[in-house]
Chains A and B, each alone.
Chain A
Amino acid sequence: MKAIQVGIVLCLAGVLCGCGAKPGAVPVKPKVIGAALLTQTHVFYQDMVSAMEDEAKKQGFKLRLQYAEFDSQKQINQVETFIAQGVDAIIVAPNDSSGMTPVIAAARAKNIPVFTADIAAHGAQVVSHIASDNEKGGVLLAEYLAKRLNGKGKVAIIDHPTVASVQERTKGFLQTLAKYPDMQIVQKVPGEGQRDKAMRVTQDLLQAHPDLAAIFGINDDSALGALAAVESAGLQDKIVIVGFDGTPEAETEIAAGKALKADAVQYPKKIGQKTIEVIAACLRGEKVPPVVPVEVGLIDQASLKGGKP
């Protein structure tokens, strides 16, 4: 009987501390955050995750990581497992922006706040979406191309249209390019954000449009795949490639003066850190904005050597 009473008291204490705001009270169970992210194979995600881990440690959170590896079914299973475990918050970077609506609703039904990082979820109500200002990145690249090509030339996009962040990039890119009547988009080809596929579709593209002036790869794997195809076709002096992400490999190519001339850079570490900060604020009971944009920049050979782009 006594044991039960003690148990009840302990439980109550746990509940009180769980939603209580008093810092320095009895040590409580650390908050657990489940993260179901897109992939472990992109450098971008590796950077984002390392920053998440650092910030989680600072905040005293326990971070559980899972990766979809391009399988939507696996990803919803992972989120369901987090829900069953009763984690305190869930981070999702959807493999398919449209395929997370029901499972996010299921989390909400259990009062678990859901956050999206890097990639948004369509039609799902999340507490906050933390991501690069992708549209701005597209704008910066289009302006760069227009300047470099003197507002003239045919442009192709190595696309991955199922991903929301990519849709924002191409939106900013297309809107800005539309201001230059002599620059036209000749084709958008799907590279699925993967290097080998991007290389293959670029080879086809070069066959179809021998007078192509520029290629926009929606991420660095797409841009580097395009670069490989352009170089093997011997067209590196005729075509300008721009990419997105600023991975070390892309930076090396840009600095070496290859056909890949510029990159919109995201700061994945900032996204990772910001995500955990926003969650911490939310769990403290503060109001957080529904969209948290993280700044982007532009790099080219000059900026990598210390100058301005």
Chain B
Amino acid sequence: MSAPSDSTHAAQIKRTLLTFGPLVLALILEIVIFEMIGRRQDNPGFASLNTLILVLNQSAVYGVMAVGMTFVIITGGIDLSVGSLVACAGVLCAMFVHWGGGEQVWAWIIIGWIAAVGLGMVAGSVAGLLITWFSIPPFIATLALMSSLRGLGNLATDGKPISPLPEAYNWLGRHPLWGQVPVSVVLLLLILAGGALLLNHTQFGRHVRAIGGNEESARLSGVNVMRVKWLVYVLCGMLTAVAGLILSSRLGSGSPKVGLGDELAVIAAVVVGGTSLSGGRGSIGGTFVGLLVVSVLNSGLTWIGVETFGQQVTLGVVILAAVLLDQLKTRGSAF
């Protein structure tokens, strides 16, 4: 890469504005519209710090998963197993705490965390191996894992959620730090920051982008493509397990039924955030804004009393609009 000159700096700023500008605008627009409709219904307060924290807390599960998914999608891959893995991770942790039977709760919770994150890394590692060593397309490999993991979670629990769990179990998903910011929100922000750092300022991150841009030329220029791709799935599995821990804590139970369809919600957030499904292009910042656009939409529609069916339709329209906007931009910059 050449040293950045003033003109490339300017280009970079322009590019950043082009990428995030419309999304941030859409986000602000959403908040303003929901607040206005809310006020008409005698139901103000959507545009407030409390609601922002609420939305962040509600998007923590998808957000943590979306960071891992962004890496996977930038390499040109996909991971459909995250929804099932989220359930398995929560179930495993809840099992440990349940076995503990209320004695030394915190020790068991921490053991459960470690076991769940370990499980996530193993699952991701299996996906990575299938995709790299056995050259199975990511869509197929992770589709198979999605089914097997869902089954494993159900087998392990006989299909029943594990509960009741001690109150300390709710810490990760609900406990407010400094009076009002839930632990899960702090964790989400840390993981987002870590993800951005990893993608933009490390060799690993550069390799991830290089592979997504052109796998063959990345290989020719000395990138260990297999290893990097494998690691990307391990990372995604690990973060998905963390998300599963947050979700299980928020529900206060370890249920094998949660996370159905989460993979699609997470992919939607990543794509709305401007990451290209064909690989090579994307950012953690974009994913964060994309996530917020989707989460604010869901919370806002609930806030103004739009029922679930209406929410589903609106979400589809927003995903389409975001992708169309993205296409217009890339077409525009090609001229």
Contacts and interface: CB of A to CB of B under 8 A. Distances in A.
Nearest to B302: A81
A33 to B, nearest CB: 12
A65 interface: yes
Given A67-B308, A73-B251, A85-B303, A96 B164 contact: no
* Chain A at the B interface: SS class: mixed
Contacts of B160: 161-162
Interface string B231-268: 00000000000000001011111010111111000000
Contacts of B251: 72-73, 76, 96, 98-100, 102
Contacts of B309: 40
A204 interface: no
Interface stretch (B3-11, B42-50, B217-225): B42-50
Contacts of A66: 302, 307-308
A88 to B, nearest CB: 13
Contacts of A106: 174
A102 B174 contact: yes
A123 interface: yes
Nearest to A75: B251
B285 to A, nearest CB: 24
Given A73-B247, A80-B54, A85-B45, A96 B255 contact: yes
A207 B252 CA distance: 39
A76 B250 contact: yes
Contacts of A76: 250-251
Interface in B283-313: 298-299, 302-303, 305, 307-309
Given A81-B302, A84-B54, A101-B164, A74 B253 contact: no
Nearest to B48: A84
A78 B302 contact: yes
B327 to A, nearest CB: 30
B213 interface: no
Contacts of A80: 54, 57-58
B93 to A, nearest CB: 14
Given A40-B309, A101-B252, A122-B164, A162 B159 contact: yes
B266 to A, nearest CB: 12
Contacts of A73: 61, 247, 250-251, 258-259, 262
A231 interface: no
A77 interface: yes
Nearest to B165: A101
A148 interface: no
Contacts of B252: 98-102, 123
B161 interface: yes
A121 to B, nearest CB: 10
Nearest to A87: B43
B173 interface: yes
Nearest to A101: B252
A71 interface: yes
A71 B164 CA distance: 19
B170 interface: yes
Interface of A: 29, 32, 40, 64-74, 76-78, 80-81, 84-85, 96, 98-103, 106, 122-123, 161-162, 190
Given A102-B249, A190-B159, 18 more contacts: A65-B305, A69-B308, A71-B260, A73-B61, A73-B250, A73-B258, A73-B262, A74-B308, A76-B250, A81-B303, A85-B43, A96-B251, A96-B257, A99-B252, A99-B258, A102-B250, A102-B252, A161-B159
